[in-house]
Amino acid sequence: MEYNDVELNNLSYNLALKYDKRTYMQYFISLLKTKHILFFSFFYKIDYNSKIVKKNLFFIGFILSYAVNALFFNDETMHKIYEDKGTFNFIYQLPQIIYSFLISSILNALLNLLSLSEDDIVNFKQLKDKNNLNKRASDLKKKLYRKFISFYILGFIFLLCFGYYLSMFGAIYVNTQIHLIKDTLISFGLSFLIPMIIYIFPGIFRIPALSNPKKKRKYLFVISKIIQIF
């Protein structure tokens, strides 16, 4: 029944004052483990999510990034590649890379809502009313089964559609594959880099807010929770 990293990070201000005694670095590492796609998928194991589902989310996320980048290759892009004689023009491709990153992030967030079980299990764990506990546990299992089945059906549809589109794209635009792969690696790489930058900031507000229980600094704590969402 001890709190894991996710539960500690989501504690209310009063409970955090009582139970969260972590340093800035420990808090920063907890954000990486629970939110960063690489660490969360392969290295963080003290949570209430299916390990198989987390790994599947990682690879589906890459395919999503690959497919979304391919969708941005239009006649204008092809003409620009022709003008540049096949040279990869990073400045020209940058807006496309950023748009692809944002769209992929939104789609991944929707898949996370559909597939991850952490919030449901934490809510069950925190139930104060112990009446009908077995029935509630049974209802929770059914809910999670539905989520997992829906996730795998939707994931299969995504992979089928995107796989077909990418295979057709590769067959028609053979000489554009290198540009597409570079765009994909850069936009997918942003999902590794940007969170590591964002997670520097929540601890700057959270740790001072909790460092002295006698000084009420709830406003700093609220700011850290808002930044933590991203």
Same domain, 205 and 191: no
Mean pLDDT of 85-107: 81
**Amino acid letter for position 125:** K
Q: Is the per-residue pLDDT at 27 higher than 90?
A: yes
Residue 8, in any domain of the structure: no
Tens of pLDDT, residues 210-223:
887 777 788 888 89
Same domain, 67 and 159: yes
Same domain, 20 and 69: no
Q: Is the per-residue pLDDT at 119 higher than 80?
A: yes
Q: Is the per-residue pLDDT at 201 higher than 90?
A: yes
Tens of pLDDT, residues 176-197:
888 888 888 888 888 889 888 9
pLDDT class for 24, splitting at 50, 70, 90? very high
Average pLDDT, the chain: 85
Residue 36 region by backbone torsions, left for phi larger than 0, else alpha for psi between -120 and 50, else beta:
beta
Average the pLDDT over each of 83-97, 167-181, 190-204 and give the range with the smallest value. 83-97
Find out whether 206 and 192 touch, Cβ atoms under 8 Å. Answer: no
Mean pLDDT of 8-12: 88
Residue 193, in any domain of the structure: yes
State how many domains the chain has. 2
| pLDDT score, position 187 | 85
Same domain, 149 and 211: no
Residue 153, in any domain of the structure: yes
pLDDT class for 126, splitting at 50, 70, 90? confident
Residue 88, in any domain of the structure: yes
| pLDDT score, position 1 | 65
| pLDDT score, position 204 | 92
Mean pLDDT of 29-53: 88
Rounded-to-integer distance, Cα 140 and Cα 120, Å? 7
Q: Is the per-residue pLDDT at 31 higher than 80?
A: yes
| pLDDT score, position 202 | 92
Residue 216, in any domain of the structure: yes
| pLDDT score, position 92 | 79
Same domain, 49 and 24: no
Residue 10, in any domain of the structure: no
Rounded-to-integer distance, Cα 159 and Cα 221, Å? 41
Same domain, 108 and 69: yes
Q: Domain containing 209: what range?
A: 15-36+199-230
Same domain, 159 and 230: no
Q: Is the per-residue pLDDT at 166 higher than 90?
A: no
Please provide residue 130's backbone torsions phi and psi, each rounded to the nearest 5 degrees: -90, 5
Same domain, 174 and 62: yes
Tens of pLDDT, residues 135-163:
888 888 998 998 889 888 888 888 898 88
Same domain, 161 and 110: yes
Find out whether 34 and 40 touch, Cβ atoms under 8 Å. Answer: yes
175: closest CA among 91, 87, 105?
A: 87
